[in-house]
């Protein structure tokens, strides 16, 4: 039996209170979960409004049983219609589809998704376009048979460009591989570790919103018979 762990770590652009990245998790009506991550154009509240628009549309359709590829296209059409093709968002959907027993990764983003399987780590980095502007766009979709040990790491461009203002370059794949060599590595530790590396590369003052999302498929511990679901959220409340 398998268990899926999902972890997210995010931080806003330096000196901007509201992150323009949005992340949500929704249950699929025929079994499974989908993680939706969007990075809105611009920063702060205006970017948040854009990313929220894309994520809400995707959540609504996924919860109704619409397939991931169609969901990404619909989110594009919706954002393009509502904002008249003037703004964009990078959209990534990672699904555990229990109907097909697959891990489905759908990208409309310049950022790769890092995937670990039995053969090791690789980057899903085929070129793809953001949603919201061009008339016809397609998501880049990879579907993998569900298996214990699988891991998918998605991130926004705050990770991709971390350190560039200081003449540094963060290697997300090398960072993730190093973190996974630690015996205590979990989905949350991996998300926190990659976020921490990006913040360090920017001297603690990120030049863009930074978000990391990790999906990890593991064997269920022996003796755990009940199908117990758990969710933990840590949300800082800013001062007035």
DSSP characters over 79-125:
HHHHTTT---EEEEEEEEETTTTEEEEEEESSS-EEEEETTEEEEE-
Tell me what the mean pLDDT of segment 148-157 comes to: 97
Q: Pick one of 3.30.70.20, 3.60.40.10, 3.30.43.10, 3.10.20.30 as the CATH number of 2-219.
A: 3.60.40.10
Cβ atoms within 10 Å, residue 7: 19
As a whole number of angstroms, the distance between CA 35 and CA 26 comes to 7
Q: Say yes or no to pLDDT of 222 above 80.
A: no
Can you give the pLDDT at residue 1? 84
Joined tokens for residue 49:
């409004």
Can you give the pLDDT at residue 226? 73
As a whole number of angstroms, the distance between CA 72 and CA 204 comes to 33
Of 155-159, 210-214, 220-224, minimum mean pLDDT range: 220-224
- Start-end of H helices in the chain: 44-63, 68-82, 157-160, 172-180, 187-201
Residue 194: left if φ>0, alpha if ψ -120 to 50, beta else—which one? alpha
As a whole number of angstroms, the distance between CA 213 and CA 202 comes to 20
Report how far apart, in Å, the C-alpha atoms of 238 and of each of 18, 21, 47, 172 are.
10, 17, 19, 29
Q: Say yes or no to pLDDT of 225 above 80.
A: no
CB contact at 8 A, 222 and 20: no
| pTM of the predicted structure, to 2 decimals | 0.96
In 3D, which of 166, 172, 165 has the Cα closest to residue 197?
172
The chain-wide mean pLDDT, for the chain, equals 95
Q: b/e for 157-172, b at 16 or more Cβ within 10 A?
A: bbbbbbbeeeeeebeb
> What does the pLDDT look like over 45-101, one tens digit per residue?
999 999 999 999 999 999 999 999 999 999 999 999 999 999 999 999 999 999 999
As a whole number of angstroms, the distance between CA 176 and CA 153 comes to 9
């Amino acid at each position: 039996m398998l268990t899926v762990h999902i972890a997210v770590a995010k931080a806003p652009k330096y000196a901007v209170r509201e992150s323009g990245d949005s992340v949500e998790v929704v249950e699929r009506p025929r079994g499974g979960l989908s993680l939706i991550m969007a990075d809105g154009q611009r920063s702060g509240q205006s970017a948040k409004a854009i990313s929220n628009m894309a994520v809400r549309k995707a959540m609504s359709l996924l919860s109704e049983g619409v397939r991931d590829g169609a969901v990404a296209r619909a989110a594009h059409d919706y954002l393009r219609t509502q904002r008249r093709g003037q703004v964009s968002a990078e959209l990534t959907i990672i699904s555990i589809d229990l109907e097909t027993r697959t891990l489905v990764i759908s990208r409309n983003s310049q950022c790769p998704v890092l995937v670990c399987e039995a053969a090791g780590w690789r980057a899903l980095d085929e070129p793809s376009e953001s949603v919201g502007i061009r008339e016809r766009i397609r998501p880049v979709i990879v579907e993998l048979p569900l298996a214990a040990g699988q891991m998918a790491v998605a991130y926004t461009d705050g990770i991709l460009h971390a350190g560039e203002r200081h003449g540094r370059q963060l290697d997300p794949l090398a960072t993730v591989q190093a973190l996974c060599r630690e015996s205590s590595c979990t989905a949350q530790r991996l998300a926190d570790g990659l976020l921490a590396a990006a913040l360090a590369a920017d001297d603690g003052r990120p030049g863009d919103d930074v978000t990391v999302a990790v999906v990890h498929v593991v064997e269920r511990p022996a003796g755990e018979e009940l199908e117990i679901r758990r969710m933990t959220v840590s949300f800082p409340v800013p001062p007035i």
